[in-house]
Amino acid sequence: MERRSPVASRRSLLGVMGAAPFVVAGGMVAGPASAASSRRGRIPKELRPGGEYDRYLAARAKADEFSGTVLLVHRGRPVLERAYGMADKAGKVPNRKDTLFNLGSIGKCFTATALLQLVQRRKVALHEKLGAYLDGFPAEVAGNVTVHQLLTHTSGVGRPPKQSGPPDQEEQDWDSVEEVWEGTLKAIRPLPTQFTPGTRYQYSNDGFVVLGAIVAEVSGQNYYDYVRKHVFAPAGMKRTDFYTRPQILAADDIAHSYTTDRRTGERYDFTASERAPFVGLPAGGSYSTTGELLKFVQALQEDGKLLDHATVEMATSGKTVVPPEEGQDPLLLCSHYGYGFAANIFDGRRLFGHTGGGPGVGDTYNVYPDLDWVSVTLGNYDSTWTKPILHLERRLITGN
């Protein structure tokens, strides 16, 4: 018997998104089992150029609700690749398919990959305590927090997550990579844990900064250099890097981030403002393109190129439950966090990847292992505008 989900249809979903509904040809929507078999062997017309997804993107860009690039890939081959909006409005530079975007927290996948390379080499152990690798933390932190907990956002290490507001004045004054690195670790080191390690999930950027510090200490290399040499280079990501604010402002192939002022509702260039950080950290802030992020995914799928196949399976599998978000798609059955990767079940289909958000940052990539699809969306507007695109993409790829 065909299994039908008691949730809103794609047409009603589009209505919720604020778009005029598109006419969907055909009869009854296939259930997950038939959707999987059909989408392994063919590309649905809704995802082809000129199809429903393409038209939705164009409508959102025309309404100035999306600016960025999108790439859909089936069985390793591009199906749809588009660029919208401006990389630099003042300079009148448009976004292109090869424009570099701030990846936000997608960078956690790179830090986790680097750390797991050291696990494979038996230089780091997942069960081991933080104090085995780094000095300067309180005894209750050094002796209780494990690498596993840092990777899964269950450690309690560091400051509470920053939901909004400008960085501290001291952070605004940092104008070198060294100041950013040392200053951030100095702020984290003396803090007690926010809760008993291992007892709850709380997203922690500081926890991934600590993981980056472990990578640097154990490898004997600067964190940035290690990731460039052992993650970006083997994956063929030639332009992906941790660009500094001066480099971004001087370039014409790197998108500026445009965020919305909550008081006035006006969108402004965050990258050109004094609030913009000097450089990214292990928690996020590297820059890449849709094509190079696809190379990272493909390198993960090639046994031994970045990690052994078994390690990738472990990293991209759920380790801890993530509480539902407001406005979450009802077809998203459950969300988990693995080791630096989000692991989701969407109407019976396994997905893994990550999102990236922040002022003027709206990114996401998803890997659909049993359907042979990869999607990458990189945007230089706030992530609020990216979520409806993600919802539609998931439904179309899975046949809902």
Domains of the chain with CATH codes: 10-104+233-398 (3.40.710.10), 110-222 (3.40.710.10)
Instruction: List, in sequence order, every residue forming a beta bridge with 139; answer none if it has no partner.
Output: none
Distance of CA 240 to the CA centre of its chain: 14
The pLDDT-based confidence of 85 (bands split at 50, 70, 90) is very high
If you write DSSP's letter for every residue of 322-357 in order, what string do you get? PPPPTT--TTEEEEEE-SSSEEEEETTEEEEEEEEE
What confidence tens digit (pLDDT) does each residue in 185-234 have? Answer: 999 999 999 999 999 999 999 999 999 999 999 999 999 999 999 999 99
Quote the CA–CA distance of 15 and 7 in Å, as a whole number. 14
pLDDT at 63: 96
pLDDT in tens, 335-368: 999 999 999 999 899 999 999 999 999 999 999 9
| Across 310-326, average pLDDT | 94
pLDDT beyond 90 at 25: no
Predicted pLDDT at 385: 83
> How far is residue 213's CA from residue 124's CA, in Å, rounded to a whole number?
12
Would you state the pLDDT for residue 67? 97
Look at residue 22 in the predicted model and tell me its pLDDT: 28
Between residues 108 and 42, the one the model is more confident about: 108
Measured between alpha carbons, how far is 335 from 331 in angstroms, rounded to an integer?
Answer: 11
Poorest-confidence range of 91-100, 144-153, 163-172, 322-331?
A: 163-172
pLDDT at site 41 = 62
- Residues 168-188: what's their mean pLDDT? 88
Average pLDDT estimate for 59-87: 97
pLDDT at 161: 74
Q: Does residue 77 register a pLDDT over 50?
A: yes
3-state secondary structure of 306: coil
Q: What is the pLDDT of residue 60?
A: 96
Lowest mean per-residue pLDDT among 27-41, 135-149, 279-293, 366-380: 27-41
196 by DSSP, 3-state: which? coil
Q: What is the rounded CA–CA span in Å between residue 37 and residue 227?
A: 38
pLDDT at 33 over 50: no
How high is the pLDDT of residue 172?
75
CB 104 within 8 A of CB 361: yes
What rounded mean pLDDT belongs to the chain?
89
The neighbour count for residue 248, using CB atoms within 10 Å, is 21
The pTM (predicted TM-score) of the whole model is 0.89
% of residues, the chain, pLDDT over 70:
88
Residue 275: pLDDT above 80? yes
Residue 281's contacts (CB-CB under 8 Å, 6 or more residues apart) are 107, 180, 181, 184, 205, 208, 209, 212
Query: What local confidence, expressed as pLDDT, does residue 37 receive?
Result: 41
Structure tokens belonging to residue 111 = 């830090």
Enter the DSSP assignment of 227: H
Query: Per-residue pLDDT for 31 more than 50?
Result: no
Residue 398 in this model has a pLDDT that exceeds 70: yes
